[in-house]
Amino acid sequence: MAEQIERIKCLIIGSGPAGYTAAIYAARADMNPVMYTGMEPGGQLTTTTEVDNFPGYPDGIDGPAMMVDLQKQAERFGTQVRFGMVTEVNLATEKGGIHKVVVDGKIHLEANTVIISTGASAKYLNIPSEQKLRGGGVSACAVCDGFFYKNQEVAIVGAGDTAAEEASYLANICKKVTMLIRKDHMRASKAMQHRVNRLENIEVLYNCEVDEVLGEQVVEGLRIVNNQTNEKHEIEITGLFIAIGHKPNTDIFKGQLDMGSDGYLVTTPGTTKTNLPGVFASGDVQDKVYRQAVTAAGTGCMAALDAERYLADIGVVDEVKAGDYSV
């Protein structure tokens, strides 16, 4: 007997703010969306202790609770949220074509539209003390979490434009910012270097790396090592920000979807359309500039609307419901 393959009208890959917002809009448009969460349901926000800048939460909310709220809202309108990792894709190149997807190496699906919301993963130093205190004072987003360290002393690791920009941002909030650069120079543009150097409460330490993040439950300090002299010393801080870049979760789409040299998916300006018909990208997987929950949610909305219009254009309106099968 031939294998039965589930046919889905709208498949959403990824479960952060972009994915869940896409699911809410798609479900309300009777697109019967099915979401596969990936190995980290909720995405990067599940590692954020407090979210204070997302509209609608006047008292703030912790990241995991916010993602539970978004999931409940998506499910209320009929989204099927499934735990699983998309491991293989064969995306159609013709308009109206069927996209073929494999989940966990064994579940085969076919989809009329695919919304990619797989996000990007922040790069960390990957030392045990740093990983232990993620969410306890170690953060990869100064714009997200800097407010919680107002008038306190913090440190930031990184040497590029993002690190310089985040150091400048933190300097406007925090008492002192120590910037750690492992080489003898900053990679940031001259303009960003000038901005950092003009701020009196930023101290830049060259040829320095993190030896250990100090603290049991929260960050209490930092042990720094000079990689030229091997000399170590400690500083007292309450927050450590890692600004050494992000890696978009796009490896599975290489060779099929257009992406930049940095791996971010390329979309048609003003839309979420990729180079393949019926495939849309939202959230951090295509945004290397803003990387905020609210901007991700906005592009999730756009992706669902783009997908809805595409389905109407190819004449797929009510024919396909999740759970239908092809042979």
pLDDT score for 318: 61
pLDDT in tens, 124-144: 999 999 999 998 999 988 888
pLDDT in tens, 226-258: 999 999 999 999 999 999 988 899 999 999 999
Share of the chain above pLDDT 90, in %: 76
Mean pLDDT computed over every residue of the chain: 91
Domain ranges (residues) in the chain: 5-121+246-326, 124-242
Answer with the residue of higher pLDDT: 24 or 145. Answer: 24
Asked if the model's pLDDT at residue 50 lies above 80, the reply is: no
pLDDT category, 207, cuts 50, 70, 90? very high
Catalytic residue flag (residue 59): no
Is the pTM above the cut of 0.85? no
Asked if the model's pLDDT at residue 326 lies above 60, the reply is: no
**What is the pLDDT averaged over residues 259-288?**
96
CA neighbours closer than 13 Å in the CB half-sphere of residue 309:
10
pLDDT score for 188: 87
**What is the pLDDT averaged over residues 298-326?**
82
Q: Of these residues, 10, 69, 141, 208, which one is catalytic?
A: 141
Share of the chain above pLDDT 70, in %: 94
Asked if the model's pLDDT at residue 93 lies above 60, the reply is: yes
Catalytic residue flag (residue 141): yes
Q: Of these residues, 30, 59, 145, 306, which one is catalytic?
A: 145
pLDDT score for 3: 65
Class of domain 124-242: alpha beta
pLDDT score for 1: 38
**What is the pLDDT averaged over residues 181-202?**
92
Indicate left, alpha or beta for 237 from its phi (over 0: left) and psi (-120 to 50: alpha). beta
pLDDT score for 316: 85
Q: Of these residues, 30, 52, 69, 144, which one is catalytic?
A: 144
Asked if the model's pLDDT at residue 103 lies above 80, the reply is: yes
Asked if the model's pLDDT at residue 41 lies above 80, the reply is: no
pLDDT in tens, 163-183: 998 999 999 999 999 999 999
Do 124-242 and 5-121+246-326 have the same topology in CATH?
A: yes
Q: Is 5-121+246-326 a CATH 3.50.50.60 domain?
A: yes
